[in-house]
Homo-oligomer: A and B are copies of this chain.
Amino acid sequence: MMALSQMSREQLEQEKAQLEKRYHAFQSRGLKLDMSRGKPGNDQLDLSNGMLEVLTADDYKAENGLDCRNYGNSDGLPEMRKIFADLLEIDPDEVIVGGNSSLTMMFDNIASNMTHGVRDGKPWGRQGEVKFLCPVPGYDRHFAICEYFHIKMINVPLHSDGPDMDMVERLVSSDPLIKGIWCVPKYSNPDGVVYSDETVRRFAHLKPAADDFRIYWDNAYMIHHLGEEPAKILNLLTECEKAGNPNMPLIFTSFSKVSFSGAAVAAMAASKSNIDYIKKRLTVQAIGPDKLNQLRHVRFFKDANGVRAHMKKHAAILRPKFAAVLDKLDEELTPYSVATWEKPTGGYFVSVNVAEGTAKRVVQLCKEAGVVLTGAGATYPYGKDPLDRNIRLAPTYPPLEEVKEAIELFCICTKLAAVEKMLES
């Protein structure tokens, strides 16, 4: 097999015919597969089934005697805060444990800044068109929050060691309407990229033109390693303190892909002073989070090491799925030279850049053969991938056999769309 670019028109026509044959064979099988969302598989959820019965009718008190059934404790159970603090390597006083969704905590923080400003500064909603930097490709739900609040999004390329920091520094220091940046610093969604120490340090040393600039550090995959050797990132909170920017970072994480996606606990971390400010809103907003569910997590995991041990079981389930995807991509696409991708060592996705101008076509072809992928463009603000080439693959939810079928189809469609495109030109 040779690179597409070196094929003659005749060779391309032949190749197309063969690919179409394979494609139609797939189509005739009436598949109905979904590789679109980063959901844990049923076997992963089973790992936590013990949590469904870990509490008993006489076990509802926290270490300090607090009755978790009743109202109170707007920042969460102390022992749950400690588990998050240990995992994030920070102080429990710098953590708020919330409900079941870190996305809700991010949304709410931005909603708060729109109406009340950052720490009672001028509300973002009254400063004209505020903007966020969005490393791309990125997480569609981050972008949806910005779009909802009419926050203008500016694309910043994501490299294999993090966002283009030259560009980030230049923009952040020159435009006071740039108020935030979305980061998934470890096993980024979708590329699986891990931010280098230098990247983290450059973040900590930013000199924003806006004094109400914030780094939204969504550490969603902090412990979601696939391999034996977990990737390490520097602690942004500590680095920001050292750099004299203690209040700049807001860190988010959750157990949505640790215990139960719909019924886990989420947390945010920030400087003590930021936390105190945020708690003031919390006390108006709610009388307290679901402490029984936090207690369930405490009983089930016991401590941070319990969580880490649990994550190894997730990794054992996910490794073969990621291997199936990466091996097939390598086998089918490398010789063709039509696509590039990172090889993630953690997280929930494989992100593939197919031939320019063909991502939409690939997703459509897959769909017409029964495999739903994340929509092309979803990994870019406003759903607009300027080169129409990035596709996010989410191999975690379907069983391994289905992943194998889906990725084979994806490879066929990727090649077919590329061949079609070359024949057009």
The residues of B that contact A70 with a CB separation of less than 8 Å are: 39-40, 45, 260-262
Determine if A145 is an interface residue (Cβ-Cβ < 8 Å): yes
Distance to closest chain B CB from A253 (angstroms): 15
Provide the A3-37 mask, 1 if CB < 8 A to any CB of B, else 0.
Answer: 00000000000000000000000000000000001
Q: Which of A42, A71, A107, A289 has the most CB of B within 10 A?
A: A71
Report the minimal beta-carbon distance from A290 to chain B, rounded to whole angstroms: 5
| Chain B residues in 8 Å Cβ range of A99 | 99-100, 290
A400 on interface, CB distance cutoff 8 Å: no
Q: Are B287 and A148 in contact (CB under 8 A)?
A: no
Interface pair B72/A262, CB less than 8 Å apart: yes
The interface bits of chain A over 48-61 (1 if a CB of B lies within 8 angstroms of the residue's CB, else 0) are 11101101111110
* Count of this chain's copies in the oligomeric assembly: 2
CB of A68 within 8 A of chain B? yes
Q: Identify the closest chain B residue to A291 (Cβ).
A: B262
Question: Which chain B residues lie closer than 8 Å to A281 at the CB level?
Answer: 148
CA distance A72 to B115 in the complex (A): 29
Q: How far is the CA of A162 from the CA of B359 in the complex (A)?
A: 61
**CB nearest to A72 among chain B residues:** B262
Chain B residues near A287 (CB-CB < 8 A): 101, 103, 141, 256, 261-262
Contact in complex: B71, A37 (CB < 8 Å)? yes
CA distance A123 to B126 in the complex (A): 12
CA distance A59 to B104 in the complex (A): 27
Mask for A121-140, Cβ within 8 A of B = 1, else 0?
A: 00101000000000000000
Task: Name A37's closest neighbour in chain B (CB-CB).
Answer: B71
For A72, list chain B residues within 8 Å (CB).
Answer: 262
The reply to whether the CB of A293 lies closer than 8 angstroms to some CB of chain B is yes
B50 touches A53 (CB 8 A): no
Residue ID in chain B nearest A263 by CB atoms: B292
Q: Contact between A50 and B57 (Cβ–Cβ < 8 Å)?
A: yes
Q: Which residues of chain B come closer than 8 Å to A37, judged between CB atoms?
A: 71
Q: How far is the CA of A261 from the CA of B58 in the complex (A)?
A: 17
A59 to B290, CA, bound (A): 21
Decide yes or no whether A357 CB sits under 8 A from chain B: no
Q: Does A425 contact B (CB under 8 A)?
A: no
Whether B104 contacts A111 by the Cβ 8 Å rule is no
How many angstroms from the CA of A290 to the CA of B100 in the assembled complex? 7
Beta-carbon contacts under 8 Å, A268-327 to B: 281, 284-293
User: A71-100: which residues lie under 8 A (CB-CB) from chain B?
Assistant: 71-73, 99-100
A67 proximity list for chain B (CB < 8 A):
42, 45
Which B residues lie within 8 Å of A291 (CB)?
262-263
- Give the chain B neighbours of A49 by CB distance below 8 A: 57-58, 60
Cβ–Cβ contact B39 & A284, under 8 A: no
Residue A149 is within 8 A (CB to CB) of chain B in the complex: yes
Q: Which of B52, B71, B103, B286 contacts A286 (CB 8 A)?
A: B103
Partner pick for A293 among B125, B141, B290, CB 8 A cutoff: B290
A-B contact pairs, 10 of them (CB 8 A): A52-B56, A52-B57, A69-B260, A99-B100, A101-B286, A103-B285, A103-B287, A108-B285, A114-B115, A125-B125
Known: A52-B59, A72-B262. 5 other contacts (CB 8 A): A53-B55, A115-B115, A260-B292, A262-B289, A290-B293
